[in-house]
Chain A
Amino acid sequence: MFLKLVWLIPALPLLSAAILGIFGRPLRWSERTISWIACGSVFLSLVITAGVFVQYRAAHWPEPYLTSEAGGFPHSFVWVPGGDAELSLGPRAGQRATFRAEWSYQVDPLSMVMMVVVTLVGFLIHVFAIGYMRGDGGFYRFFAELNLFMFMMLTLVMGSNFLMLFVGWEGVGLCSYLLIGYWFHRADAKAASMKAFIVNRIGDFGFLLAMIAVFSLFGTLQFTEVMRLAADEAYLPTEAFGMFGMASWIALGLFIGATGKSAQIPLYVWLPDAMAGPTPVSALIHAATMVTAGVYMLTRTNVIFMKSPTMMFVVAVIGAATLILAAVIAFAQTDIKKVLAYSTISQLGYMFLACGVGAFTAGIFHLFTHAFFKALLFLGAGSIIIALHHKQDMREMGGLKSYMPVTYWTFVIAWLAICGIFPLAGFVSKDEILWRAFTTEVIPGGRWFWFIGLVGVALTAFYMTRLMALTFWGSPRFVPSTQAHGLSDEPAPHEEPRESPKVMTLPLIALAVGTAVAGFVGWPPALGGSHRFERWLNPVLYRRATNAEAMAHHGATEYILMVVSTLLAAMVMAAAYHLYIHRKQTLQAIVEAIRPLYIASARKFWVDEFYESVFVRGLTLGFSRVFWRTDTRVVDGAVNGSAWFTRFSSRLSGWSDLFIVDMIVNAIGFGLRVFSVAFRAAQTGFTQNYALVITFGLLIATAAYFIWGS
């Protein structure tokens, strides 16, 4: 029964978005009504998703449930009925295939995971946003856009072909743009939304090219078909490491798309700026769901990637580099949301590292756990920001532990999770990634990647502990202000920060519970688990023969690696705590000693400035200068030359006009005037004169008929 309702999962938020967007303002709905509609629709989606999960697991697993094939589904339809096209790549080049894209949903283990994450985390964040956005003038607009995002994200993860994925892909980009620029009267929000959109567009370009290549090669965009054909060794041969063939080119395009959406080097620069949006948006879109679309896409197309070790290596390198770079930048940020943004980029780096070493399940598992703890971190930050009246600078926080106990304790859980402390969610997924990197046989250099991941663990532990120390521990540094800060219209209360209302703390608690237990879903066999998550996802993964045993083989090494990473994280956390709480002088001395590095980190390694000078200024302005030169010299010269020629020829033609053409025209006119004198007399202007002429004409015609006729 639930499987027939699959189409409702994205449709409900879309309906709610339309209702809110159309009626929210003209009917002046109260915040209460809007919240019920917005959260209710997402909650229904969540319920249906849960039902679908149970039914799919019981009846269909491990086969994907495709709504277009399953009959009973009334709402899949041929969406783009194209004509015949000639395939231009691969073994079927020259043959014809029909381009045909259906609007149908696919429920398989992978999309099921994403649906659960999106609806569950999305629902909690919707609830949180009721509290966060209270009193904002655009309440209805915010929820309409948030619901629209839910629809787009669900379309992205549930679509059964590349084209639907692309629609969702662009749609979430649009919603991201709308929601980053939600406070459009703020210059930074406006600029950030445009930056996000444009940077994403660069990635989308790669994705689009890859999609075209996929059709040219396989003649279909249906995931199941593409993956079936791609798995065929004769159709898409596995390439050697260092080779860059067909699979690599497609994978490269897909990966460029993924770097844009999932904020990887070199296209990560939009994500920190995206923090100009409201905090629930940061939590939902820029941490938990949308930015993980790249990881989802890589996993969805894992067959193609697995055929190209070169691109897998590139993915791993980019992931590793991103996770280190973002973590280092997070060190010196003072805006609480910026720290979390760089942390998100860093964690996404882990996911890409996992994909790169061939451990797609580990990447998706980290995506799954990360959605919980990063949403929790962001919502906790949102709770703090509300309590401090939209102040985000950590230098003006501190000591919030006693003021906001619920926020604090839930935040602690998320902090422990992201640092990878046993047995929270982050520990399980991160160690899975490290372990799979260590043992990878897909690409060379697995141990190096493991080492980089380990460094990332230490860095993560440090900047997260710094965040905790600056916000919750130590002594309060905030000034109870007498004037309003930021955007809320309420008069600034001259009082201490308070715990947020229940509507905000309950989602925090729910997410904290999720953070605590999510890890057990994929508990590794080394610790007595059974890799349930991995077995669940296995049907969508392509496995090469050599890689089959990597899973089974575990032993002392795995325990050692676990202990090493956990101990390292714990040590770094303790050291950071010590430095930031008890040894501020030492900290100051260290910062002084490495001042250049500190400044580099605080200034984000000047990447924005580099892009600004090279791409925006350098390329764009350079091109514009070249074009300007061309304009002034070539185009203007041509224009001026033609103007001179026109003037010259017009003088000629003017002369001929005056003396030849005018002469003829005047002569004709004169002749006509003389000639017309006789005829003018007939035009009396009296209607009845004309009627008389007509009558006489009639009489004459009749007479003529009688005389000469027949």
Chain B
Amino acid sequence: MVTEAMWTVLQQVPNQARTWQGFIDALLKKGINDFILLSFLLFAIGVAGVLTRRNILIIFMSIELILNAANLNFIAFTRYWQMSGRLSEHMGHVFTIFIIVVAAAEAVIGLGIVIALYRNRQTVAIDEIDLLKW
């Protein structure tokens, strides 16, 4: 169903605009709700992962999902508002870049901590790491 919808959208896009930019712009012409929905889904999947999974690595991946949900929101709103003329800056893009960079740095440090943790405790299961109690 989704692929059909995309295909119909693609059909409406002029040949010379068949780029990601053109594609997304065409999608945005229909409204922003699809993007918010996708973003919300990503966010919800991420939160669910964080709350339910035991393996820290999976939790990390879920956090990445949450961050990218935010990214998607930023990008979509910026572009949407730009297209409708309510915004002329690139604030959302800048934020996205920041988030990507911070996420990368966080992943480096986090994985480092995970490795150190594994060396000490021989486990990466989060429910066994509960010393932060008092």
Asked if B47 is at the interface (CB within 8 A of a chain A CB), the reply is yes
Number of A residues contacting the other chain (C-beta, 8 Å)? 10
Q: Which of B51, B127, B134 contacts A695 (CB 8 A)?
A: B51
Q: Which of A680, A684, A685, A691 contacts B51 (CB 8 A)?
A: A691
Would you call A685 and B126 a contact (CB within 8 A)? no
- Chain B residues 45 to 81 lying within 8 A of chain A, measured CB to CB, are 47, 50-52
Would you call A692 and B132 a contact (CB within 8 A)? no
Q: Which of B47, B50, B131 contacts A685 (CB 8 A)?
A: B131
Asked if B133 is at the interface (CB within 8 A of a chain A CB), the reply is yes
Would you call A683 and B134 a contact (CB within 8 A)? yes
Would you call B127 and A686 a contact (CB within 8 A)? yes
Would you call A695 and B47 a contact (CB within 8 A)? yes
Would you call B133 and A691 a contact (CB within 8 A)? no
Question: What are the residues of chain A within 8 A of B129 when measuring CB–CB?
Answer: 687
Question: What is the count of residue pairs linking A and B with beta-carbon distances less than 8 angstroms?
Answer: 25
Question: What are the residues of chain A within 8 A of B134 when measuring CB–CB?
Answer: 680, 683
Q: Which of B47, B50, B52, B130 contacts A686 (CB 8 A)?
A: B130
Would you call A688 and B126 a contact (CB within 8 A)? yes
In the complex formed, the residue of A with least CB distance to B63 is A691
In the complex formed, the residue of A with least CB distance to B132 is A685
Least CB distance from A605 to B in Å reads 79
Would you call A688 and B51 a contact (CB within 8 A)? yes
Least CB distance from B40 to A in Å reads 11
Least CB distance from A168 to B in Å reads 57
Question: What are the residues of chain B within 8 A of A686 when measuring CB–CB?
Answer: 126-127, 130
Would you call A683 and B51 a contact (CB within 8 A)? no
Question: What are the residues of chain B within 8 A of A695 when measuring CB–CB?
Answer: 47, 51
In the complex formed, the residue of A with least CB distance to B50 is A691
- Chain A residues 664 to 689 lying within 8 A of chain B, measured CB to CB, are 680, 683-688
The distance in angstroms between the C-alpha atoms of A685 and B134, with both chains bound, is: 8
In the complex formed, the residue of A with least CB distance to B126 is A687
Least CB distance from B105 to A in Å reads 20
Would you call B130 and A684 a contact (CB within 8 A)? yes
Would you call A692 and B126 a contact (CB within 8 A)? no
Could you tell me which B residues sit within 8 Å of A by CB distance?
47, 50-52, 126-127, 129-134
**24 A-B pairs, CB-CB below 8 angstroms?**
A680-B134, A683-B133, A683-B134, A684-B130, A684-B133, A685-B130, A685-B131, A685-B132, A685-B133, A686-B126, A686-B127, A686-B130, A687-B126, A687-B129, A687-B132, A688-B50, A688-B52, A688-B126, A688-B127, A691-B50, A691-B51, A692-B51, A695-B47, A695-B51
Ranked 9 nearest A-B pairs via Cβ? A685-B130, A685-B133, A687-B126, A691-B50, A683-B133, A685-B132, A686-B130, A692-B51, A695-B47
